[in-house]
A and B are shown apart, each in its own frame.
Chain A
Amino acid sequence: MEPIELAAIRRVREGDADAFEALVAAHSRSVYRICHRIVGDAAAAEDAVQETFLRAFRFLARFDDRAEFSTWLHRIAVNAAIDELRKRRRHRLEVPPAAEAPGLEEVLASAEPAPDRRALSSELGRATATALAGLTPVERAAFVLRHYEGRSIAEISAALGKRENATKQSIFRAVRKLRAALAPLLESPHEALP
């Protein structure tokens, strides 16, 4: 851990809340990236980032200085993002980010030989976003952490508080759902993307 980071943590523990700003500044973007992958929406991601830092502040005394602060923080972020996703789904406020993901049907309907590879590539991106929106929060978090963040199954299990076998099953289900959603696009004549 960076000496500056460690110093900030110690100052916060001693009661200097303003010292926490250095940690927010250093880690906001990486926390946002994880949260956005899990919640799939910019506003929800920022809410999850805020919640992550609030929880981190509250529990900073329990952080072991020998560990990596970013690892600890990202673990909190994963759970804050899952909570945010659950909350939004519960309140039916979750809106698939319109700019990123129209309805899957719309994407698939427009899959008739795509005009060019770039268009198909963006369609795949939108279809992926839509398919991910159909996963359960835990499936989504497990897949995102494995596929996009490159975390090991052991790390993901620790972050989610699940047994490794349960994490694997979440990833398997996520891949199966993705396959069901993306297969029509991948079977198009332009499947061999650059």
Chain B
Amino acid sequence: MKRFRDDDLILFRYGESRDAEAIRAALADDPELARRYAELERLLDAAERWAEAEPMPGLENRIWRRVRPRLEGASPLPARRFAAADVPWRLAALGAMGLLVLAVAFALGRWSGPQLAPSELASAAPAVAEGFGSEARERVLLASVAGHLDASERLLTELVNRTELESPEAERELAEALLASNRLYRKAAERAGQRRIVALLDQLEPVLIELANAPAGAAVAGDVRRLVESEDLLFKVRIVGGRLEPRALGPMPLFPTTQL
């Protein structure tokens, strides 16, 4: 008989279990499971003792008096403002990141098909392709990190300058992609001995994590913005990215010098 954990029982209690029939049968047959379930029910029933709070009388009027003056300077945003203004650079950034990840994957000799898991790519770094010389590999890395920092800079700039929620879904999607590539580049930079880049990517990661996990419909993440501002992160990203670009340029073989 399948063993059910407390988490399974919680889902069952809330009617969200995919094993409802099996749990029901197990509860009838297994006294220990039935005891655990009864204990859970007692706990959740006890939580019901926390009475629902009634607002002070006049809530509606009070809220309206507080909200009304602030509507003057807050005209509703047009429906498609975000679509017109923000999608192109985000799409471009996502596309560019895909190409950069491909470039690193190619340089690392790990292009193996349609799926590209950053964690797999990073763990493959020791098996760097023989075909690229060390200089070429470094340029691939620097070009990739420069592109990554450019996309990050755009995202952080918008975050810092913005006062209203614009496009949480697109922003989260971009942050998720940046987070994945941030981790890849951090490992690659660490192996390449690029300590300053590693340090910067370490600072960038918690911000990307916050943005990637920001709740839908949330206003601008003020605490993330403060984090960016307190660490001068935008400034650092801009400076390091600017310095990397020239170093990443230069003659680079279109193909590895030996067959992969």
Contacts and interface: CB of A to CB of B under 8 A. Distances in A.
A and B interact: yes
Interface of A: 12-13, 15, 17-18, 20-21, 24-25, 28-29, 32-33, 36-37, 42, 45-46, 49-51, 53-55, 57-62, 75-76, 78-80, 82-83, 86-87, 90, 100, 121-122, 124-125, 128-129, 132, 138, 146-148, 152-153, 158-162, 168, 171-172, 175-176, 178-179, 182-183, 185-186, 191, 193
A129 B46 CA distance: 11
Nearest to B7: A172
Given A122-B49, A179-B43, A79 B217 contact: yes
Contacts of B52: 33, 36-37, 148
Contacts of A15: 75
Contacts of B50: 124-125, 128-129, 132
Contact of A61 (B40, B53, B78): B78
B11 A168 contact: yes
Between B39, B43, B51, B52, the greatest number of chain A beta carbons within 10 A of the residue's beta carbon is seen for B43
B70 interface: yes
Given A17-B72, A148-B52, 7 more contacts: A21-B64, A28-B63, A46-B55, A57-B76, A86-B223, A147-B47, A186-B43
B63 A186 contact: no
Given A24-B67, A61-B79, A168 B7 contact: yes
For the side of the interface on B, what is the size category? Answer: 35 or more
A42 B53 contact: yes
B165 interface: yes
Contact of B16 (A79, A153, A183): A153
A55 to B, nearest CB: 6
Interface string B236-247: 000000000000
B215 A79 contact: yes
A50 B45 CA distance: 32
A79 B218 contact: yes
Contacts of A172: 6-7, 10
Contacts of B30: none
Interface string B9-52: 01100101000000000000000000000011011111101111
18 contacts: A13-B76, A17-B68, A28-B63, A36-B52, A46-B66, A50-B66, A61-B79, A75-B216, A75-B217, A78-B215, A80-B219, A83-B222, A90-B223, A129-B50, A161-B168, A171-B10, A172-B7, A179-B43
B10 A161 contact: no
Q: Give the one of A36, A59, A161 with max B CB within 10 A.
A: A161
A76 B217 contact: yes
B56 interface: yes
B164 interface: yes
B10 A62 contact: no
A60 B67 CA distance: 15
Contact of A147 (B44, B59, B172): B44
B7 to A, nearest CB: 5
Contacts of B14: 146-147, 153, 171
A18 to B, nearest CB: 8
B74 interface: yes
Contacts of B46: 124, 128, 182, 185-186, 193
A32 B43 contact: no
B237 to A, nearest CB: 24
